[in-house]
Amino acid sequence: MRLLSKLLTFLSWISLLGTFVLPAFGSRIKDLTTIAGQRDNQLVGYGLVVGLAGGGDSQQAEYTVKSIANMLERFGVSVAPDDLRSNNVAAVMVTADIDAFVQEGSRVDVVVSSIGDADSLLGGVLLQTPLLGADNNVYAVAQGSLIIGGFFAGDVGGTSIQKNHPTVAQLPGGGIMERTIDTQILENGALTLVLRNPDYAAASMMEEAINRYFPGAAKALSAQNLRIEIPETYKESETTFIASIEAIQVETDLTARIVMDERTGTIVATSDVRILPVAVSHGNITVSVTRNPIISQPGAFSPGETVLDQTNEISAVEMLGGFRVVESLPTLSDLTSSLNSLGVSSRDMMVILQSLKTAGALHAELIIE
């Protein structure tokens, strides 16, 4: 009750300051948008890891044994799958994310993951594995010694020790691009900027900021897309023009939004959240359960036994909240700062914010995770 009284007094004092304008801050267009057509590409392949010290796939992984037989067949060695043992070999999937504009011959990082029942990939070597794109064409090959940040020792189902995840390995620079992935970002002498967070106000401000430096070059097509015409003076230096566009700073305009994670008690809010005049009453109920042991002991020299029991005492204390009027505040940051200074927990703060939203006094999108 005293905390709430202090809060209401402090909020009333803040309301006398009046509404103020937060200082504007700028962000680069590069950090707010992406260029249409400039995207990453995912590659995947199936391969074998050899050189494992008895920690490879078991004979139950028939696909591993058949893969070994097929590999040996390529080198002119004909062996029946039934005559092979896969203790030192593991079947794996190899994946890679390829940045835009990566050229033929460039090195890329790959991730190797076991798909069988291998215990660990520690010490293994990935044999040459083709990496395919979504169109089923080979764009890269991967090969090399694996790096694992963990280990496994012992018997499966028995006594063992494991650190981190030994069946997933990294292969930095282990992939080589065999062909360039075409990336087209220009269309009829123009490019399209795609906002990461679509917003009409942000798109309009970007259009205005770009046109200050390059008059008539930008046009906002929607809340997410801006079309940028390349001026004639930059037709021969498109890279310089794009770099200049990305370096322009604009004032960001965020939607009033509050995100609350009830599992962790985390609250994240934008600075434009507004609170209207509202009456608030908030009280707490504390329930306490106490266990008191009871010992029943028989008399001296009697044949009885000592018995241990316990009783439970439950008490409930309710802190009544007063019904007070809270004047309008400039932003939510003032409210949360006041609550924090008074030691109000995140759980209580969530309840207050949800009640304010239900009452229509909180002008923001409330997201509960």
Question: Where does a domain end: 157, 177, 197?
Answer: 177
**Whether residue 245 is found in the same domain as residue 213:** yes
Shared domain for 48 and 173, answered yes or no, is yes
| Judgement on whether residues 55 and 167 belong to the same structural domain of the protein | yes
Question: Residue 152 corresponds to which tokens in the numbers above?
Answer: 């496994």
**Two structure tokens written together for 251:** 């004032």
Which of 177, 192, 208 is the C-terminal boundary of a domain? 177
**Is 305 part of any domain?**
no
User: Quick one: 236 and 270 in the same domain?
Assistant: no
Euclidean distance between CA atoms 48 and 84, whole angstroms: 15
Same domain, 241 and 359: no
User: Distance (Å, rounded) from C-alpha 254 to C-alpha 256?
Assistant: 6
Is 58 domain-assigned? yes
Say whether both 146 and 48 belong to one domain: yes
Are residue 170 and residue 207 in the same domain, yes or no?
no
Across 196-305, the runs of DSSP E, i.e. the strands, are: 218-220, 225-229, 249-251, 257-261, 266-269, 274-275, 278-280, 284-296
- DSSP H or E run through 96: strand 89-98
Q: Is 326 in the same domain as 226?
A: no
The number of CA neighbours under 13 Å toward the Cβ of 82 is: 0
Tell whether 11 and 100 lie within a shared domain: no
Distances (CA, A) of 229 to 187, 219, 238, 365: 10, 9, 11, 36
- The domain containing residue 11 runs over which residues? 2-22+257-292+310-368
Is residue 48 domain-shared with residue 67, that is, in the same domain?
yes
In a domain, 91, yes or no: yes
- Let me know whether 49 and 162 are in one domain: yes
Q: How far apart are CA 336 and CA 280, in angstroms?
A: 15
Q: What is the pLDDT of residue 37?
A: 85
Per-10-residue mean pLDDT, the chain, length 369: 46 36 63 88 94 86 87 86 83 93 92 91 92 93 87 54 76 93 86 90 91 92 92 87 90 79 78 70 53 68 68 53 53 61 68 78 80
Q: Would residue 300 count as lying in a domain? A: no
Whole-number Cα distances in Å, 57 to 35, 70, 126, 158: 44, 16, 14, 18
Q: What is the number of structural domains in the chain?
A: 3
Q: Please report whether residue 299 resides in a domain.
A: no
219 Rama class: left (phi>0) / alpha (psi -120 to 50) / beta: beta
Spatial neighbors of 5 by CB under 8 A, at least 6 apart, are 322, 324
Per the domain annotation, does 237 fall within a domain? yes
139 close to 133: Cβ distance less than 8 angstroms:
yes
Residues in a beta bridge with 258: 269, 366
> Are 233 and 275 part of one and the same domain?
no
| 304: in domain | no
Which one of 160, 177, 194 terminates a domain?
Answer: 177
Any idea what the CATH number is for the domain that residue 238 is in? 3.90.1150
Is 301 inside a domain boundary? no
